[in-house]
Amino acid sequence: MLGTLNQRADVLARAPVADGAGGIGDAWTTVATIWLAIGARDGGDVYGPDAEESRVRHKLTARRNAELQAGRRLAVSSRTFRIHAVLDDGAPSQFVTLLCEELP
């Protein structure tokens, strides 16, 4: 399994930042760097009143890491993924499965 973890990724967490007008905006900061494997899971089209959008969901595999949490993002080269779920493969396994959506 370790040989298939061939993609380097930054784990990104949301951090509040001042927007200069008295409000608070969001920025994404790197909290960890990991190696993972990317596999396509499924995809589909979403239709709205003014737009059509394709969504591709992926199943990623990574070593267990406390920074991998639902709601965070992964930056892999020029691609960004939103983590929807972290599936723990159990105590004997050192790997987790991440259910993610690739962001446009």
Closest Cα partner for 33 from 58, 13, 8? Answer: 8
- Supply the pLDDT for residue 31: 97
Q: What is the pLDDT of residue 25?
A: 86
The pLDDT of residue 54? 64
Residue ranges of domains in the chain, CATH in brackets: 2-103 (2.40.10.270)
62 versus 50: which is more confidently predicted?
62
Distances (CA, A) of 89 to 2, 37, 41, 64: 15, 15, 18, 9
Mean pLDDT of all residues in 32-59? 76
Whether 68 has a pLDDT exceeding 90, the answer reads: yes
Share of the chain above pLDDT 90, in %: 59
44 pLDDT higher than 90: no
């691609």: which residue's tokens?
79
